[in-house]
Amino acid sequence: MQASQRRQVQPEPAPDRDWWRGAVIYQIYPRSYQDSNGDGVGDLKGIIARLPYIASLGVDAIWISPFFKSPMKDFGYDVSDYCDVDPMFGTLADFDALVAEAHRLGLRVMIDEVISHTADIHPWFQESRSSRNNPKADWYVWADARPDGTPPNNWLSIFGGSAWQWDTRRQQYYLHNFLAEQPDLNFHNSEVQDALLDVTRFWLERGVDGFRLDTINFYFHSEGLEDNPPLPPEERNDQTAPAVNPYNYQDHIYDKSRPENLGFLERFRTLLDEYPVAAAVGEVGDSQRGLEVVAAYTAGDHRVQMCYAFDFLAPEKISAGKVRSVLEAFGRVASDGWSCWAFSNHDVMRHASRWAASEPDRLAYLKVVSALLMSLRGSVCLYQGEELGLPEAELAFEDLQDPYGIRFWPEFKGRDGCRTPMAWDDARPNAGFSTAKPWLPVAREHLPLAVSRQQGDPNSLLEHYRRFLAFRAGHPALVKGDIEFLAVEGDAIAFARSEGNERIVCAFNLGAKPATLALGDGKKGQETGGHGLHGTLEDGKITFHGYGAWFGRLD
């Protein structure tokens, strides 16, 4: 055989280290996604069974909320063993099988890493609290009482009351930014950082593609333990805590978002860079400085790849003006940073209730705002059931599981309403989630919106998400391109996304009434189809029906 006739062996393509930039990430709350063993709680095998559905949406990755060993005081966000699976969710072998199947289907796997605090039954804390001179004595944040026995400063817990809990063994207070059963780790101790990086490596070696870093701006506190100053009443708009929580009364300059965190994030990124595609997205809970923190944490290529703040997760309804102001504000403070945008997640009321309940055409509104989200510059997080338009579930007090909701009921009903089981099949018991009584009730109002009802219906929200995600994936400018806002007024918003030789104008009418958007006399262009939304360009004007959108090229 002549050399020219030999089959040329093509080298494997290099892994795309930049896959996260513009990725669409689907968040799974494992307790509520799919129960495979009939105990009323979702699990890893249940997720595996539903991975083909997730892949059919056209997303790039999944983010799985915590499944580690835990006493479940905060439903997995209180970890007692970072390197094992809680038996209610399965085993490490189940997790390995999940990663393998996700990769086979072309999905990246990101997992929640909850490292600002542990459970109080974690062996590290048990040793730390045993004495003031044991090897882990300063692995957590300990402080003496004031002379009158009160806590060392005025710091408050997001879950209510003081952020300090008295420990009778050490005769000291320990810090907990969340539940008293969630003591905060002391990141000023390099041994703590080393141990947490070892945990990160453990999961990278098991094949995960990245991490969602819970409460990333809570890692460090001020070693001086200074009192936080008060906030004026007009500035008490913390998006991470309900308005009834006095946590909003303080400017949290000493208990979170500390500059010392940057050094740890650089260590963290150095570890990620040892692996071909590892990436991280951080959760930034800071209403006063959220976008600035996101910019700092994602600057350059030596910290985390992306973060999200709560700008679009707050109760305030989205508007054309707000979208533009948030995106432009981020552009001003982050010349090279990258954000991840979301409208819903496991901690906030679903946006189908926050925003769409007052709209005359709920379905059309949810279609246009989802298209807007998936057209913004940045990566995107979609929360399970968002693609179905699930509203916040109405629960009775006796059904609540969330300690946050129980603490502030009835003015704040907690997070259970967005965590109820996924609605798969309205004709099956418990909507196909479980054969047993679920840990939270299946919402009756979710049954007409089940996957079985929407699958295959081209007018449904589910098929809209599939259609629009395919449209987005076919246009590099919508994935990784720059953004330039165009001058418009009212409920309409327009911007151009550009990448290489591609430039797409994206225009949206967020209102129920028809609208006209003037782009300039004589402007002509070509509509880009395939997204299923409607608008027309004629004589330099885009004309929309209510909740319309137009995508295309301008001449």
Among the residues of 10-87, which ranges form H helices? 44-57
Asked whether 46 and 79 are in contact (CB, 8 A), the reply is no
Q: How far apart are CA 136 and CA 130, in angstroms?
A: 9
Asked whether 24 and 37 are in contact (CB, 8 A), the reply is no
What pLDDT does residue 236 have? 83
User: 165 — phi, psi (to 5°)?
Assistant: -125, 130
- Whether 426 is catalytic: no
CA distances from 366 to 114, 358, 465 (A): 31, 12, 10
pLDDT tens track for 262-293: 999 999 999 999 999 999 999 999 988 999 99
Q: How far apart are CA 283 and CA 310, in angstroms?
A: 9
Pairing of strands 68-69, 81-85: antiparallel
What pLDDT does residue 12 have? 59
pLDDT tens track for 314-365: 888 999 999 999 999 999 999 899 999 999 999 999 999 999 999 999 999 9
Which of 120, 214, 359, 392 does the annotation list as catalytic? Answer: 214
CA distances from 414 to 193, 299, 403, 407 (A): 32, 34, 8, 8
Q: Where are the domains of the chain?
A: 24-117+190-473, 482-554
**Of 498, 523, 496, the residue nearest 507 (C-alpha):** 496
Superfamily of domain 482-554: Golgi alpha-mannosidase II (2.60.40.1180)
Instruction: List per-block mean pLDDT (blocks of 10 residues) for the chain, which spans 555 residues.
Output: 45 82 98 98 98 98 98 97 98 98 98 98 98 98 98 96 98 98 98 98 98 98 98 78 84 97 98 98 93 96 96 92 95 94 97 96 98 98 98 96 90 93 97 98 97 98 98 97 88 94 96 88 84 91 94 90
Token representation of residue 282:
């951080």
Token representation of residue 472:
């987005």
Q: In what order do the strands lie in the sheet with 279-283?
A: 306-308, 279-283, 210-213, 108-113, 61-64, 24-28, 379-383, 340-342
Which residue matches tokens 């150095």? Answer: 270
| Other CB atoms within 10 Å distance of the CB of residue 164 | 25
Superfamily of domain 24-117+190-473: Glycosidases (3.20.20.80)
Q: What is the pTM of this model?
A: 0.95
Asked whether 380 and 373 are in contact (CB, 8 A), the reply is yes
DSSP letters of 174-213? EE-SS-TTSPBB-TTSHHHHHHHHHHHHHHHHTT--EEEE
Which residue matches tokens 């991975």? Answer: 51
Which of 274, 336, 398, 555 does the annotation list as catalytic? Answer: 274
DSSP state of 326: H
What pLDDT does residue 487 have? 79
- Whether 214 is catalytic: yes
What ranges make up the beta strands (E) of 278-373?
279-283, 306-308, 340-342
